[in-house]
Structure 1
Amino acid sequence: MKSPGILPGLFLFKAKINAGDYKMKKVTRVAIQGIKASFHEEAAFKFFGNDIKTVECNSFKQTCEVLEAREVDYVVMAIENSIAGSLLPNYTLIREYNFAVTGEVYLPIQLHLMALPGVKLEDVKYVTSHPIAIRQCIDFFDEFPHLKVVESVDTAACAKKIRDEQLTDTVAIANTLAAELYGLNIIERRIESNKKNYTRFLILQNDKTEDLTEINKSSICFQVGNHVGALSKVLNIFAEQNVNLSKIQSMPVLGKRSEYYFYVDMEWTESEKYDIAIRKALKYTVNFNIMGEYLKNDIV
């Protein structure tokens, strides 16, 4: 006959195991613009590793909506490309949703021309991809003026459409992941104009992290008065404290002539001097916002 005390103890022991299993099985959810095998998913894998769940979104705004609703833990968002430049609307999204920038990742962009097996370039009439990807390959297409360019919302989606609809007159510009996932042949490799092409992505989350032990880079946003030397005064404050400004991007304030938001990325080696510079800059700016402080990660 079993002791009456054993059974409750067993249940308690099993409950503890199940709770532990739940924690172990919890997977990081990351929203990406585009579908699987897009450059955004590739960037997510590079930053977080492959053991994540990527959530496909049709637009950058939708990635923000699912993050705000806490349906995902992070968003990976492209912010600039070495050929096409900054994605200006994304700066506005980050500021308006008040997300925290908690990291960055640089991804080398290698663009390939792909088609269904057996299709040759001389038989093709259309080339399709994201407009930024197309812009990065403009030199290649100067040699093929007969090709009609069709813009789409996502590089990988173009590859998927060719597979799904069995399009024999169309090629897509996308990455190796897309060719492998959707069963396409790469008929021309590395067609991007600049072989040192890369895109920088920001890692966003709802709340600023409390663990700030390892930071040496930040992204801030502010406005200054419209008078001579206003911006220069602020920038000189950071120079005096040996804080390097790695990027400055301006955007007009909607509906207000001659007013601008300034988005600045900065790096430092001494956190005390960074703190001093921030405190001093606050006196000469308005709508000052530290969008995020994080560890520099510029390895391409």
Structure 2
Amino acid sequence: MLLQIMESEKLKIAIQGVKGSFHEEAAYKYFGQDIETLECESFKRTCELLKLGKADYVVMAIENSIAGSILPNYNLLRDYRFHILGEVHLHIQQHLLALPGTKLSDIKFVESHPIAIRQCDEFLSEHPEWIVKEGMDTASSAQAIVSEKLTNTAAIAGEAAAKIYGLDIIERRIETNKKNATRFLILSNDVVEQKNANKASLSFQTGNAVGSLAIILQCFAEQNVNLSKIQSMPVVGKRNEYDFYVDVEWKKQSDYDAAIRKVLKHSVNFNIMGEYVKNEKV
């Protein structure tokens, strides 16, 4: 009974994918091992669990150093308006996994998440005879090989998935860029003030006047606030109108505060999505 109570008190973290996924690895890196990860078939499902209070937090990939921004997730950030509590950078090492005893010559099909496939384009191009299929997640592709006893199929996934599902790594480090990294956001229903915050994620719209975006960017520059990322997304149903998502970093809180005051004068639908401590470690 005591064990059940203790387990019920663990933080519940919604992740896209299954056990052994990179999302689970990112959750462990941020929260530690003493958590319960909730497996979800889609990013939208993770958001629904958080919205309904069935999860305490969501771990969501937002960009990869090879594949770029994960654009559909920006739409989810806009629709659900969760608070960004923090970020995690994870060094991604992709391996080719298969059932024990499987040889490279036995492979006819390779399956993984679309982003993982893109990360391994160069390696896959060396095997044009393989049929590459997109799956829900890296780890779920590994899981399917075991559950369906697929002797002619390999999955692109991480080492954790190989260990959990008992698969052999028949080719290591098949990612094109060995500095491959993914940035994950930690999402919360509640605004949680972060002491020593030095990074923020913001969203806003601009007017249609010439140079309107440049004026806003200049506001940051004048206050010594570094713009580390900018992403634009079309406003649904409005031609030639865009939401801009930016990440900014600062050394002095007063500089950041002054920049925000200036930007408010030149933007529309301004929103501070989260203020948090920049994650330096990959």
Does TM, normalized by the shorter one, top 0.5? yes
Q: Alpha-carbon deviations, 1:158-207, whole Å to 9, x = none?
A: 11110111110001100001000001000000000000000000000001
Residue of structure 2 in register with 1:6 after alignment: none
User: Does residue 1:98 correspond to 2:45, yes or no?
Assistant: no
Residue aligned with 2:260, SS? helix
Q: For 2:52 and 2:7, how far apart are their aligned partners in 1?
A: 23
If the length of structure 1 is used for normalisation, what is the TM-score?
A: 0.91
Q: For 1:96 and 1:189, how far apart are their aligned partners in 2?
A: 39
If the length of structure 2 is used for normalisation, what is the TM-score?
A: 0.97
Residue of structure 2 in register with 1:168 after alignment: 151
Q: 1:117 aligns with which of 100, 123, 133?
A: 100
User: Does residue 1:215 correspond to 2:197, yes or no?
Assistant: yes
Q: For 1:92 and 1:158, how far apart are their aligned partners in 2?
A: 26
Deviation at 1:287? 0.4
Contact 2:194–2:277 under 8 Å retained in 1: no
User: Does residue 1:251 correspond to 2:233, yes or no?
Assistant: yes
- Closer, same or farther: CA 24–145 of 1 in aligned 2, 3 Å: closer
Residue aligned with 2:232, SS? strand
For 1:1-300, what aligned pairs fall within 5 Å after superposition?
26-209=9-192, 211-300=193-282
Misfit runs of 4+, over 4 Å: 21-25
Residue aligned with 2:141, SS? helix
| Rg larger in structure | 1
Q: Alpha-carbon deviations, 1:250-290, whole Å to 9, x = none?
A: 11111111100000000001001111110111011000000
Deviation at 1:95? 1.8
Matched AA of 1:105: V
Residue aligned with 1:119, SS? coil
Deviation at 1:213? 2.2
Residue aligned with 1:283, SS? helix
Pairs aligned (count): 281
Q: For 2:109 and 2:7, how far apart are their aligned partners in 1?
A: 47
- Closer, same or farther: CA 77–148 of 1 in aligned 2, 3 Å: same
Q: For 2:237 and 2:7, how far apart are their aligned partners in 1?
A: 49
- Closer, same or farther: CA 144–24 of 1 in aligned 2, 3 Å: closer
Q: Alpha-carbon deviations, 1:54-109, whole Å to 9, x = none?
A: 00111000000000011111000000000000011111111211100010000011
Contact 1:95–1:291 under 8 Å retained in 2: no
Matched AA of 1:240: E
Residue aligned with 1:90, SS? helix
Q: For 1:90 and 1:282, how far apart are their aligned partners in 2?
A: 25
Q: For 1:54 and 1:258, how far apart are their aligned partners in 2?
A: 40
Q: For 2:131 and 2:50, how far apart are their aligned partners in 1?
A: 37
Ranges in structure 1 where 5+ consecutive residues have no aligned partner: 1-17
Deviation at 1:298? 2.9
Q: CA RMSD in A?
A: 1.6
